[in-house]
Structure 1
Amino acid sequence: MTADTRRSPFEVYPAIDILGGKCVRLREGDYGQATQYNDDPVAVAHQWLAAGARWIHVVDLDGARDGRSLNEPVIGAIVREATQCGARVQVGGGIRTHQALEAWLAAGVSRCILGTVILDTTFMAEAVRRVGGAHLVAGLDGRDGKLAVRGWLDQTEQSLVDVASALAHLGVQTAIVTDVRRDGTLQGANVAWARDLQRATGMRCIASGGVRGLGDVQAAMQAGLAGIIVGKALYDGRIDLEAALSLAAKGDGVC
């Protein structure tokens, strides 16, 4: 195991999922169940940054589904907005070549989230060599402990624990652990799943999917996770971002 397990602040990541240039949320990863929240994702980013966000989590849903980004201009604008506020951005969705990975980092993205390609250990080893494990995030998205890829449209039989262990050995330091069955459902985050993966691999794990309230944020902190991604609950007004960030600040350095 070579992942970096040093302590770092617990982070709350407000999510911006972009489909066709609009800010949306999917239910259980289903593109047929997309709810549009805002025509201007940059305005949404400005709102989260004004509330004090230190990170913005951006997913290019078009890229995740089609394997190529259609939303570079709007994501680039979000990165510039965040940079001006001293915040950072992590981006995922359709990053399946070294050229795409390096282009996003050159554009000012701090970390790239890789999903479909994480099963290709040769690719991942080369990615770590080229950009360093600290700039990579493994998208460990799945159902019933098995990895889902290509925008969650394809369900594999690969164990998430096995995949995560291999990536940690290669030097990938951070993972987002998403229970696809809970994503967009407000059923509560699967904190235990993320905790177990973190303990098994030594990677810094971020819980995602189904977050419904500050109780999920507290549970993720108590589990020693590196952070939590909040989406639908923010847009529906169930979580106040300033309150979530304040709660996280009290636990800085616990993970």
Structure 2
Amino acid sequence: MIIYPAIDLKDGQCVRLFKGDMDQDTVYNDNPAAQGAEWAADGFGWIHIVDLNGAIDGRPVNEDAVKSIIKAVDVPVQLGGGIRTLAQIENWLMEGVSRVILGTIALKNPDIVREACDLFPGQIAVGIDARNGMVATEGWVEESDMPATELAKMFEDAGVCTIIYTDIDRDGTGQGVNIDSTIALSKASSIPVIASGGIGNLDDVYAVKRASMDHNINGVIIGKALYDNRVNPAKALAIATSEELEVSTLASNDG
């Protein structure tokens, strides 16, 4: 299981939101490149970046910050937020992004996802953000009548390399990942799932690890709990990489 430390960018700064609310943000670092370098130095093998302003505006906004992170780290990064066109996808891949995450456009224009998968095999992910099981778009502002599981099924044969599933009402709360809905999504298609939203301590990391042993869940995104030092990077990585199911002794709430 891969752990993806999160860098959410708002106005050029690293922030965390509470339940996806842009008005409830906490600034953790005004130097995104330094934050990325810190995560890489901690041993994380990937970095997850979201352009929050971009997700709202429907176009890349925090481009300079993203580029600074890419230059500062020697690990692959995945990027989402405001990416709506094939040209934008190609541009980010040329800039050094390893995986592009398509969210709003996956619901509103799924053909672009399929075309992108054909053009850039292995580099296209779909971000499914849901509230009460229903997909939300445009930076989580708009709610649709599309069940998250149905959206996952739409891309079964498209070539999507992974689905990043976020339960919006858990995001930034530290209440733990919604394991049941994440498992349900992993069963909806054969596409591997990365869990997101709600990690608060090492026990939560262990819960996702345990679910990953029996289901098609191969990663978890951690944000606020890392910034608040409630999750110790070395211990979290030990849980994630352990091949034994009984790794709960590694999980303690002291971080």
Q: Same fold (TM over 0.5)?
A: yes
Q: Which moved further from structure 2: 140-149 or 162-171?
A: 162-171
> Using CA pairs below 8 Å that are at least 6 residues apart, which structure has the higher relative contact order?
1
Q: Is the 8 A contact 1:211 1:230 kept in 2?
A: yes
Give matches, 1:103-114, under 5 Å. Answer: 103-114=91-102
Asked if 1:38 is matched to 2:29, the reply is yes
Give matches, 1:156-175, under 5 Å. Answer: 156-175=144-163
Q: 1:79 matched to which residue of 2?
A: 70
Q: Is the 8 A contact 2:175 2:200 kept in 1?
A: yes
Please point out which of 43, 47, 62 is paired with 2:53: 62
Q: 2:250 matched to which residue of 1?
A: none
Please point out which of 233, 240, 244 is paired with 2:225: 233
Deviation at 1:122, TM superposition (A): 1.6
Q: Is the 8 A contact 1:61 1:93 kept in 2?
A: yes
Q: Distance in 1 between matches of 2:67 and 2:204?
A: 30
Q: Distance in 1 between matches of 2:110 and 2:47?
A: 28
Q: Is the 8 A contact 2:9 2:62 kept in 1?
A: yes
* Deviation by residue 1:228-247 (Cα, 9 ceiling, x = unmatched): 00001111111011211122
Q: Which ranges in structure 2 are unaligned for 5 or more consecutive residues?
A: 245-255
Asked if 1:118 is matched to 2:97, the reply is no
Asked if 1:194 is matched to 2:189, the reply is no
Partner amino acid for 1:249? T
* TM-score scaled by length of structure 2: 0.91
Deviation at 1:251, TM superposition (A): 3.4
RMSD of aligned residue pairs (Cα, Å): 1.2
Partner amino acid for 1:199? K
Asked if 1:18 is matched to 2:24, the reply is no
Q: Is the 8 A contact 2:34 2:72 kept in 1?
A: no
Q: Distance in 1 between matches of 2:235 and 2:72?
A: 22
Partner amino acid for 1:168? E
Deviation at 1:194, TM superposition (A): 1.4
Q: Which ranges in structure 1 are unaligned for 5 or more consecutive residues?
A: 1-9
Give matches, 1:134-145, under 5 Å. Answer: 134-145=122-133
Aligned to 1:165, the other structure's residue is in SS state helix
Please point out which of 195, 201, 212 is paired with 1:213: 201
Deviation at 1:126, TM superposition (A): 1.0
Instruction: Kindly tell me the number of residue pairs found equivalent between the two proteins.
Output: 239
Asked if 1:248 is matched to 2:240, the reply is yes
* Deviation by residue 1:71-104 (Cα, 9 ceiling, x = unmatched): 1122112112222xxx110000000000001111
Aligned to 1:157, the other structure's residue is in SS state strand
Aligned to 1:197, the other structure's residue is in SS state helix
Partner amino acid for 2:115? E
Identical-residue share of aligned pairs (%): 43
Q: Distance in 2 between matches of 1:135 and 1:232?
A: 26
